[in-house]
Amino acid sequence: MKVIIVGGVAGGASCAARLRRLDEKAEILMVERGPYVSYANCGLPYHVSGVIEKESSLLVSNEATFREQFAIDVRTNCEVVGISAAKKTVELKDHKTGKVTTESYDKLVLSPGAAPIRPNIPGFDLPGIFTLRTVPDTRAIRAWLARNDLPGMDTYGGYQTATKAKRAVVIGGGFIGLEMVENLVHLGLEVTLIEKMNQVMPPLDPEIALLVKRRIEEHKVRVELNDGVAGFKQAANGSLEVLTESGKVHPADIVISAIGVRPEIDLAKMAGIEIGERGGIRVDEQMRTSNPDIFAVGDAVEVKDFVTGQWSLIPLAGPANRQGRIAADVIAGRKSRFRGTQGTSICLVFGAAVASTGVSEKQLIKIGDKDYEKIYLFPNSHAGYYPGAKMLAIKVLFRKSNGRLLGAQVLGDDGVKARVDSIAMAIQLGGTVYDLEESELSYAPPFGSAKDPVNFAGMMAANVLRGDMPVAHWDSVGNAFLLDVRNPPELAVEHVAGAVNIPLPELRARLGELPRDREILVICRSAQRAYYATRILLQNGFKVRNISGGMLSRSMLAAK
């Protein structure tokens, strides 16, 4: 059996190595258009700033290792320029020699990835405007940053992190955009982030993304939302000008365009295989394309969203690696299948982390799914009495009808991964909010709380579903009666216009002051005391709901 694997990074490299482990006899040829195989593309932004000091650190494996350890024929700088699905052949162009050869295959695996979108905007090809996908891209950005017109400083100095560039514009507030913002700030640049949407970090809901934006802004980054780039110009002094749709002009010594990626489907088109509704290669759960001898994996394919069952484009390294393994399994005659993607992700944001798993509320709204409820909570990352506890912001989405977990978003300075991973695992296994309520997670004061934030989330959501804590949200307060149960000194700091204040300890004695003919919405700082008040009022016959997240979630309102 001869297998040709096109693309030697995440999915392709995983597939090749796995296939060799399963089949010593298979002839395996892995071709990669670029100069490197199996490099750490997730690390590229951090090499731009020198946080990852050496370029060689990014080269996780190499041709020699694939040859020697796996007996895999690897060809870099080698591009597929033709595929005949009928003859089961590919034409390979060696970019070093220019020579084109034809290779036959029994099975073909496409792992071409997704390419940065290059918008059709005037001036996009000007020098100083970059996208980031490969090691050579990183090298070019570093060289540009080190470039200057002073005599004797015109060469790029190895692992130097100093830069003569002063102002950077990053276009696009997704993962790569945010990582580039942070690394450019790290280099000392003044950074402007321009994002066409009303939020950064598209997988998040806008109110959580607002918290991310605030974090970024704390580091003096100018964030321009709701504005697209209209064009680029070279200014008189040689620097760039970024012109936006709203008419603004942002001067820049360097521009990073990170407005998203698009599946590379040229090869798939050549092979005549099916492209899906989202523009990616369509595969079944065994990573087989519409042609049974052609498989596809990684950022180029559409995957089923694990929670919604919808076709999605989710370019993440974890799923790409698993898909590569699964394609190898299937080629080797096994029955492995891909379970779909939860979109679990995490991103460093100036020392904090923001993470999500499962669906967002905006996705649910988009698909018209109304069988969900949400809660917000702001627990400490670990026991409040142990030094260093930091507030987490957590949003959890769950099925109203049965409590099944749908998604979670977590932001904070500490302990974010533990919480999102626990919930990701619960989602994968079909868990409910009741499972979170009863889950037994590790606790000692430096690491968590006896009731972990994940337990708290489960308890709150379960309280909602059991009817113990009817819940309301700031975006649908209407003209309900607002009851604030905080203590007067807290109100002095910030209060809600029109809310009546009865501190919780006085509530039982002052029930007569509350209306019986109107719905009461209860407020406190974090919604905990408001929950206690809700219980008191419910049992005394009032119609009442607790505003999830209290004053803390109110601060996210501006995102709406």
Contacts (CB under 8 A) with its own copies, residues 40-99: 40, 42-43, 46, 51-53, 57-58, 60, 68-71
Q: Measured from the CB of residue 554, what is the shortest distance to its own copies in angstroms?
A: 22
User: How far is residue 130's CA from residue 123's CA, in Å, rounded to a whole number?
Assistant: 12
Q: Measured from the CB of residue 348, what is the shortest distance to its own copies in angstroms?
A: 5
Asked if 347 and 409 touch (Cβ cutoff 8 Å), the reply is no
Give the footprint of its own copies on residues 408-427 (CB under 8 A): 415-418, 420-422, 424-426
Span near its own copies by CB under 8 A; candidates 116-124, 165-173, 227-235, 428-436: 428-436
Q: Which of 84, 428, 490, 495 binds its own copies (CB under 8 A)?
A: 428
Pairing label, strands 261-263, 114-116: antiparallel
Listed as own residue / partner, the contacts of 185-188 with beta carbons closer than 8 Å and 24 or more positions apart are 185/219, 185/220, 185/221, 185/350, 186/49, 186/50, 186/51, 187/48, 187/49, 187/50, 187/145, 187/161, 187/162, 187/163, 188/163
Give the other-Cβ count within 10 Å of 151's Cβ: 6
Give the footprint of its own copies on residues 346-385 (CB under 8 A): 346-348, 353, 355, 357, 383, 385
Q: Which two tokens stand for residue 390?
A: 């930091």
* Residue carrying the six token digits 């970090």: 201
Nearer to its own copies, 112 or 128 (CB): 112
Q: Which of 36, 144, 175, 378 binds its own copies (CB under 8 A)?
A: 175
Selection from 117, 362, 350 nearest residue 229 by Cα: 117
38 lies in the binding site for its own copies (CB under 8 A): no
Strand ranges in 253-368 using DSSP code E only, listed in sequence order? 254-257, 261-263, 294-296, 303-304, 311-312, 345-349, 352-358
Ramachandran area for residue 417 (φ above 0: left; ψ -120 to 50: alpha; else beta): alpha
Q: Measured from the CB of residue 366, what is the shortest distance to its own copies in angstroms?
A: 21
Size of the residue set binding its own copies (CB under 8 A): 89
Q: Reduced to 3 states, what is the DSSP secondary structure of residue 3?
A: strand
Give the footprint of its own copies on residues 467-506 (CB under 8 A): 468, 504-505
Residue 448, Cα to own-chain centre: how many angstroms?
25
Q: Strand 100-104: give its sheet, edge to edge.
A: 78-84, 89-94, 100-104
Q: Measured from the CB of residue 223, what is the shortest distance to its own copies in angstroms?
A: 20
Q: Measured from the CB of residue 3, what is the shortest distance to its own copies in angstroms?
A: 16
Q: Measured from the CB of residue 84, what is the shortest distance to its own copies in angstroms?
A: 32
Q: Which of 277, 440, 478, 492 binds its own copies (CB under 8 A)?
A: 440
Question: What are residue 324's DSSP bridge partners?
Answer: none
How far is the CA of 467 from the CAs of 524, 538, 539, in angstroms?
Answer: 20, 10, 12
Q: Which of 529, 550, 556, 559 binds its own copies (CB under 8 A)?
A: 529
Ramachandran area for residue 287 (φ above 0: left; ψ -120 to 50: alpha; else beta): left
Span near its own copies by CB under 8 A; candidates 38-46, 214-222, 247-255, 490-498: 38-46
Give the footprint of its own copies on residues 2-21 (CB under 8 A): 10, 20-21
Nearer to its own copies, 163 or 321 (CB): 321
Give the footprint of its own copies on residues 304-323 (CB under 8 A): 306, 316-322
Selection from 375, 460, 488, 536 nearest residue 520 by Cα: 536
User: How far is residue 356's CA from residue 433's CA, in Å, rounded to a whole number?
Assistant: 16
Cβ neighbours of residue 95 closer than 8 Å, sequence gap 6 or more:
33, 77, 78, 79
Give the footprint of its own copies on residues 233-292 (CB under 8 A): none
Q: Measured from the CB of residue 427, what is the shortest distance to its own copies in angstroms?
A: 9
445 lies in the binding site for its own copies (CB under 8 A): yes
Nearer to its own copies, 420 or 480 (CB): 420
Selection from 147, 110, 160, 123 nearest residue 3 by Cα: 110
Q: Measured from the CB of residue 246, what is the shortest distance to its own copies in angstroms?
A: 32
Q: Measured from the CB of residue 531, what is the shortest distance to its own copies in angstroms?
A: 8
Nearer to its own copies, 161 or 239 (CB): 161
22 lies in the binding site for its own copies (CB under 8 A): yes
Q: Which of 284, 386, 552, 554 binds its own copies (CB under 8 A)?
A: 386
Nearer to its own copies, 270 or 348 (CB): 348
Q: Which of 2, 535, 543, 554 binds its own copies (CB under 8 A)?
A: 535
